[in-house]
Chains A and B, each alone.
Chain A
Amino acid sequence: MFKKVCSLLLSLAAIVAPVVCLFAFLLKLGYEPLLTNSVSFDAKIDHFRQHHIKQVDILAIGSSMTVDNINSKVITDSLSRSYYNLASWGLQMSDLKNLLEYYTPRLKPRYVIIASSTRDFESGGNASIKEYLDVPDFLKQFKGYFYYKNFNSLPAIADRKKMVNAFRKYNIYTSLMFDNYGAILLSKTAAPGAGNVKILFPTAYTNSQYRSLDSLARFLNQQNVKLIFVQQPVRKDYEQFLNNPNISLQHTSKCEAIVKKNNGIYVNLAHIPEFATDTFFVDQHHLSAQGSAIATRKIATIIKPYFKK
């Protein structure tokens, strides 16, 4: 019996060992495992680790609007505080809630900036990000573990590497060329109109995303962290795409009520004159580098008094 058990275990080891070696080799070659199903989030986690971020005073978090529209230089120059932009594409309020619950005790920020629009309230969130956050911290240190945990196919791993390499090389619309603080400045010619889509809003998820905003705002308030919620400027034609012209107004007032109820700062850039023309937009929601500087200066001016208090 003992001999049989040993020979079974040896056979299983002979199956598993080459697989482990294969993945170790892939890791060495730079074919890293997928942490989540978001290219941008995985790249942001990489960037975050490489920059050894331990504690920040100001944490920006949100979707691509926070990545592209919050200008790091303006923030650091105007507010003179330690800062990091943890945002990544497509994050919804429920994702932000999960991320803030995870990172607030670790990074101990005093201010959290979320730059947002209706696009952050339209889908159900990304479950793979929650799954990533749920992995114990000590396992997160071993990248190889994610080959096992996520079981992505070899072509998926190869495709991801190809994609990330392209996104890191060029300032295209889907650029992952982060600055030192985790933001990306888009060039006006990145891909004009790439993000123009016809929107049906509200969606089946919108109410639950409002609840998530409420929940994250309450959480931050309990942690004595000031939430700065910025209603992003949107290009005029976006509102034409919405199925009801009043929806945008209803949305901004709903967000304002939630943020103020939880002692946060609400900054509305949705309809300011600087963004009345298309000049500073790359698409409906994303600003060019110049546009992001203007928007961020506006934000800095509004919130600066709070920092002095």
Chain B
Amino acid sequence: MLFNSYHFLYFFIVVTTLYFLLPHRFRCFLLLVASCYFYMSFVPVYILILFFTIVIDYFAGIYIGQSQGRRRKWLLAASLVANIGVLAIFKYYNFVNENITIVMSNWGIKNPVPYLAILLPIGLSFHTFQAMSYTVEVYRGNYKPERNFGIYALYVMFYPQLVAGPIERPQNILHQFYEKHDFDYQRIADGLKLMAWGLFKKIAIADRLADIVNVAYDEPHKYHGLNFVIATIFFAFQIFCDFSGYTDIALGAAKVMGFKLVKNFNRPYHSKSISEFWSRWHISLSTWFRDYLYITLGGNRVSASRWYFNLFVVFLISGLWHGANWTYIIWGVLNGFYLIFAIISQKLRDRVARASGITRFPKLYSWIQFPTTFVLICISWVFFRAHTIADAIHILKSMFTDTCADVMSIIHTHHLQSLAPPVNKMIPAILVIAILETVHLLQKRRSILEYVNSKPKYIRWGIYYAFILLLLTFGTASHKQFIYFQF
């Protein structure tokens, strides 16, 4: 059940109506049943995997809470092994096996280990990480074990954030299941507005851009230079709108029922550095890695070389988290490399900036930092989007060697026929990106919801109708799946 489908619309209306009609004590049960139905609408049998991890982590939490010393450690380890084991089997087994086969075949040996004909359970990495954060928090003593099995199951399965996050912590969400949420007009209206904005990002921006991006990335040997530059920039916005659109719908759906989920994005392409980008992009995953892996490894309170190693490991695993493919691993490693290089070159860059006098013009300096960061991120997106490393290298090579010639050819011939996306597709794509960036600029000072709500009624309704017109003008009907569902 995709958020951008009528199936979800009916589901949402029914569940939300029942939620407010039912007495408080039945609401969690309703949400649990609804979440099971939501998850089972993808591949029903995979609910068993979810159930397996829920049972393991529920009891692990309780026993960790009751135990002392080494036993706690063993229980935590058992829970983590179970969770990571599920991930390993369903997500990484075939990838590892395939690579072993390649290595063995180079030595002329046949790999006797069979492939598993399995589909990746939807959102596996998200709910596994959320489940792990519970046992770790209980282990660290930051949260008391949840005794109510239904509430714990709902913590893992809460449908708005079940398949693509945000990855919640027990401290933020578990207590909310015990709170009574009344029917609050303003909150519900705000939640619906957030959902509408998320839907716009998905169907008017992400899906529209996808049509252009897919053409270049699915058959990279047919295109060159400028086509890849355009496709990559569009992909940057596509993936942002796809994922943040999903998150907005999730946050909005939860808000309608009175739940507050964590913010996952904060205008990431307005970052002045890579480290700032990672504090604004997929915040719930970045902070997960920071709290449970980076700090566990020692963070930055270690020697410089160990610090770089820690960063490298975190980004390597982050890449692997996204998918069992070398392209994701390279994407993660590249981002780790950016960060390490940024740290190493910090002093030198500061010195150059001071010497050039640009620090006296902070606005101008920012205008150099924004695009530099964006370009670096776009380069890493090439690996993320390409099907193979060979494709990614071909695309990057062509971007760096052919783009100038393509631009010169357009300047000389005055026509855009060398571009793969036709002009009638490019113009709406650029317009929707312009709308997105206008909203982001408005959001610089305060959230768009606050901005709209602060306006007089007639302006507010004018904005609503204009928004609907934009949705009807730019919306596409492709019902494409959200990119992050596959993770």
Contact = CB atoms under 8 A, between A and B. Distances in A.
B475 A151 contact: yes
Contact of B474 (A15, A149, A153): A153
B468 A8 contact: no
A15 B189 contact: no
12 contacts: A7-B185, A8-B189, A14-B461, A18-B465, A18-B468, A22-B472, A151-B203, A153-B472, A153-B473, A153-B474, A154-B472, A155-B473
Contact of B464 (A7, A15, A152): A15
Contacts, number: 36
Contacts of A153: 472-477
B477 A152 contact: yes
B473 A154 contact: yes
A4 B184 CA distance: 8
A1 B183 contact: yes
Interface in A1-50: 1, 4-5, 7-8, 11, 14-15, 18-19, 22
A150 interface: yes
B188 interface: yes
Contacts of B472: 19, 22, 153-154
Contacts of B428: 155
Contact of A151 (B184, B473, B477): B477
Contacts of B476: 153
Nearest to A16: B468
Interface in A106-159: 149-156
A8 B464 contact: no
Pairs of residues from A and B, 8 with the lowest C-beta to C-beta distance, nearest first: A151-B477, A4-B185, A154-B473, A154-B472, A153-B475, A152-B477, A150-B477, A1-B183
Interface in B447-487: 461, 464-465, 468, 472-477
B181 to A, nearest CB: 13
Contact of B183 (A5, A18, A151, A155): A5
A151 to B, nearest CB: 4
Interface string A155-187: 110000000000000000000000000000000
A263 to B, nearest CB: 38
Question: Looking at B203, B428, B477, which has the most chain A CB atoms within 10 Å of its CB?
Answer: B477
Contacts of B468: 15, 18-19
* Consensus secondary structure, chain A interface: helix
Contacts of B464: 15
Contacts of A152: 477
A149 B472 CA distance: 13
Interface residues of B, number: 19
Given A18-B465, A19-B468, A8 B185 contact: yes
Contact of A4 (B183, B474, B477): B183
* Residue in B185, B188, B464, B476 with the greatest tally of chain A CB atoms within 10 Å: B185
Contacts of B465: 18
A1 B21 CA distance: 11
Interface string B423-462: 0000010000000000000000000000000000000010
Contacts of A15: 464, 468
A216 B474 CA distance: 39
Nearest to A34: B477
A180 B465 CA distance: 44
B182 to A, nearest CB: 8
Interface string B6-41: 100000000000000000000000000000000000
Interface in A212-255: none
Contacts of B188: 8
B421 to A, nearest CB: 16
Nearest to B465: A18
B189 A11 contact: yes
A151 B202 CA distance: 14
Interface in B280-312: none
Contacts of B183: 1, 4-5
Contacts of A154: 472-473
Contacts of A149: 6
Contacts of A11: 189
A14 B184 CA distance: 19
Interface string B63-79: 00000000000000000
Contacts of B203: 151
Contacts of A150: 477
Contacts of A156: 477
A200 B461 CA distance: 55
A5 B188 CA distance: 10
Contacts of A1: 182-183
A182 B327 CA distance: 51
Contacts of A18: 465, 468
B459 to A, nearest CB: 15
A8 B13 CA distance: 13
Contacts of B6: 149
A151 B471 CA distance: 10
Contacts of A5: 183
A7 to B, nearest CB: 6
B201 to A, nearest CB: 15
Nearest to A159: B424
A152 B204 CA distance: 11
A1 B20 CA distance: 10
A155 B464 CA distance: 20
Given A149-B6, A151-B477, A152-B477, 17 more contacts: A4-B183, A5-B183, A7-B185, A8-B188, A11-B189, A15-B464, A15-B468, A19-B472, A22-B472, A151-B475, A153-B473, A153-B475, A153-B476, A153-B477, A154-B473, A155-B428, A156-B477
Interface string B174-196: 00000000111100110000000
Interface in B396-430: 428
A18 B188 CA distance: 21
A8 B461 CA distance: 14
A149 B9 CA distance: 12
Interface in B114-159: none
